[in-house]
Amino acid sequence: MKKGIVCFCLAGAVLLRLSVFAQTADKQATKEAKLLFVNLQKQKNNGIMFGHQDDLAYGVGWKYQPGRSDVKESSGQYPAVYGWELGRLELDAPVNLDGVPFEKMKGYIKEAYKKGSVITISWHVNNPLTGKTAWDPAPGTVAAILPGGEKNELYTTWLDKVAAFMLDLKGPKGELIPVIFRPFHELNGSWFWWGKSHCTPDQLKQLYRFTETYLRDKKNVHNLLYAYNTDRFATEEEYLERYPGDDFVDVIGFDIYQKGDIVANDRFIAETGRSLTMLEKIAAAKTKIPALTEFGYNAVPDATWWTNVFARATKNHAIAYALAWRNAGQKSAEETEFYVPYKGQLSATDFKRLALMNQFIFENKARKNKLYQQ
Ligand code: BMA
């Protein structure tokens, strides 16, 4: 073939690939965000990227020590996905609700992006009606922040701060760093003000659409992929009850935690597997990226939980990533919270085994997948 024809065909193939797969919710998403979307679609068939919330900021018994990571110290490798949290950014606080300084967070995000890893951000946003926390389910909060509501303007000033944060995330060439944003997570539970008992399905859909449209069209934020994120669920109908529509969603996921004694292992394996099957079916029908947006077993009190429970629960499932929740450590005299082992923890040896399984992708393999490139 002549060179001109080859170029033409190649360009055509690239365009076709982007147009077939790159149906990002934001049609004006940046090139890197679109590539991330396309590449995650492919990558989900080759392994599950392992993620951890706040991984580089702190772990059990340490805080803000450059290079440290409980995942790295127990498994030998850094995670492939990093979760961060914006709660209290809306109040102009210098640190988030878990004490992480926003400026440091931006640094960690840039560091992870340069390594080819993925960033996802949640937002335990305060209640705009009462000024209390995300866990204050005052009736009428969602109605109050929708257009026409008494707190709509206040809410938009909060979104302005989210936009400024997102637009300040830049890579080495000045390009915006793609972020999987997952606001209003666990929306079918009732512990947050946006939860199931506190607004109608239609109100939640409107809130989701308003938030996204405002960030995208008013604030020109185009480096976001949007995650729709429930808690555990029983049926596809339940999962989709508050779904804002295909034009507003890129990633679909759910959060699931194992609770109680290790006798619950089998239940966790069965329920996670069943839910992932439903999630994958929905994702395939809608060309969305399925992910386990949060998971964990607090304090991992089972020496073989990783290979015997978590790997079995997710085996043969094509999801892009799974995000373990944060290693807060000792929160009070009675409360400890961590979901990945630190070095020497009971399940650390088994976690190292998991990191070597083909089923999972940690930083070294993620880097090779070049998720932000053609
Ligand atoms: C929860 C706990 C809290 C934390 C919150 C937001 O699950 O980890 O300690 O404040 O998430 O990150």
pLDDT digits over 166-205, tens only? 999 999 999 999 999 999 999 999 999 999 999 999 999 9
Q: In whole angstroms, what is the distance from residue 191 CA to residue 69 CA?
A: 30
Distance from chain centroid for Cα 114: 18
Q: Ligand 1 centroid vs 45 CA: distance in angstroms?
A: 31
Question: pTM for the full model?
Answer: 0.95
- The residue annotated as part of the active site, out of 32, 73, 90, 294, is 294
pLDDT category of residue 264 using cuts at 50, 70 and 90: confident
Q: In this model, does residue 1 exceed pLDDT 90?
A: no
pLDDT category of residue 11 using cuts at 50, 70 and 90: low
The domains found in the chain, sorted by start residue, are: 3-369 (3.20.20.80)
DSSP one-letter code for 216: I
Q: In this model, does residue 12 exceed pLDDT 90?
A: no
Helix (H, G, I), strand (E, B) or coil at 286: helix
For ligand 1, atom 7, name the residue with the nearest CA: 325
Q: In this model, does residue 51 exceed pLDDT 90?
A: yes
- The residue annotated as part of the active site, out of 90, 186, 212, 363, is 186
Distance from chain centroid for Cα 223: 14
Q: Ligand 1 centroid vs 35 CA: distance in angstroms?
A: 31
Using CB distances shorter than 6 Å, the residues near ligand 1 are: 85, 97-98, 124, 325-326, 328, 337
Q: Ligand 1 centroid vs 138 CA: distance in angstroms?
A: 20
Q: Could you tell me what percent of the chain has a pLDDT over 70?
A: 94
Q: In whole angstroms, what is the distance from residue 297 CA to residue 337 CA?
A: 9
Q: Ligand 1 centroid vs 163 CA: distance in angstroms?
A: 23
Q: Determine the atom of ligand 1 nearest the C-alpha atom of 85.
A: 12
186 is catalytic: yes
Q: Determine the atom of ligand 1 nearest the C-alpha atom of 124.
A: 6
334 is catalytic: no
